[in-house]
Amino acid sequence: MYIVTGGAGFIGSAFVWELNKHGIEDILIVDNLGYGEKWKNLTGLKFIDYEHRDRLFDLLEKGRLPAIKGIIHMGACSSTTEKDAEFLMRNNFHYSRDLALLCISKGVRFIYASSAATYGDGENGFDDSHAALNLYRPLNMYGYSKHLFDLWAWKKNLLSQMAGLKFFNVFGPNEYHKEDMKSVICKAYSQIKQTGGLKLFCSYREDYPHGGQMRDFIYVKDCTAVMYWLLENKDVNGIFNLGTGTPRTWNDLARAVFTAMDREPRIEYIQMPESLRPKYQYYTQAQTQKLQAAGCPLNFTSLEDGARDYVQNYLAAPDPYLDSSRN
């Protein structure tokens, strides 16, 4: 059996879909569904059981689960604006630490989600080598909680026994419950559909024109393909960037969405809230050489093709959630 924490979330549910695509259905989904719409991400997926995140350790420690082949730990609070530092330490750092130690003690494959937010403003680059970990200063508490776990695993010499992924700007189906944390493509589709136009933030740096700020956008289906490869290749361990390695502008993204919707681009540049300006990233780019050197095939979808698939086959569909009939 495989366990996917955060299995009802964005990347977690997409990975369950990936497992189903490969004929794997012996999956335990661990999450906290609460009162929101996240449960909808589970519709169409095949799995054997669901458990609340607070029960997982009790089940594992008392041996109440079948033999476990791997734990894919995607569960975390991913809000970059979360202010409760104690909650983030408990939920993102301590939970991950305890789960990693349990997996290592039982010889269970452990794959976990880190984040490109650990790199901070990018001033020190985006090098995913372990020796560079001490260079980075995250800009928000979410990024710090992820960075703290990376540092802990490195200092404890445990990275040779697990695989961590620094996700860059992921977009795609099943992010609908994320509210303000949804990708700009998801938000852009709704805005263009309602108003015919799209608003982007102005730039406050002379070296970047309005809408010229750059991000490494990666389609969620490419992420799950890499995750499945890591699951199959248990000898590949350490921290790896997961982005395309090709930064694109917000203007590029906007044009891709307009094209996917068969509309002419109409972009307006608006003032960025002052509270965001000191923490705003103008450039991100994943260095992918380490993942490639490990033997992982990197056949990433272009921004235009990813936007077209997402918009036309999901966002515009009556039932936008991932299911096994969509490739």
Catalytic (active-site) positions: 142, 178
Strand partners of residue 166: 114, 241
Between CA 145 and CA 138 the distance in angstroms is 9
Q: Are 149 and 95 in contact (CB under 8 A)?
A: no
Dist CA 14 CA 165 (whole Å): 15
Contact, 70 vs 110, CB < 8 A? Answer: yes
Instruction: At 300, list the tokens.
Output: 């990433």
Question: What is the number of other CB atoms lying within 10 angstroms of the CB of residue 95?
Answer: 20
DSSP labels for 74-102?
Answer: --S---TT---HHHHIIIIIIHHHHHHHH
In whole angstroms, give the CA distance from residue 201 to residue 211: 7
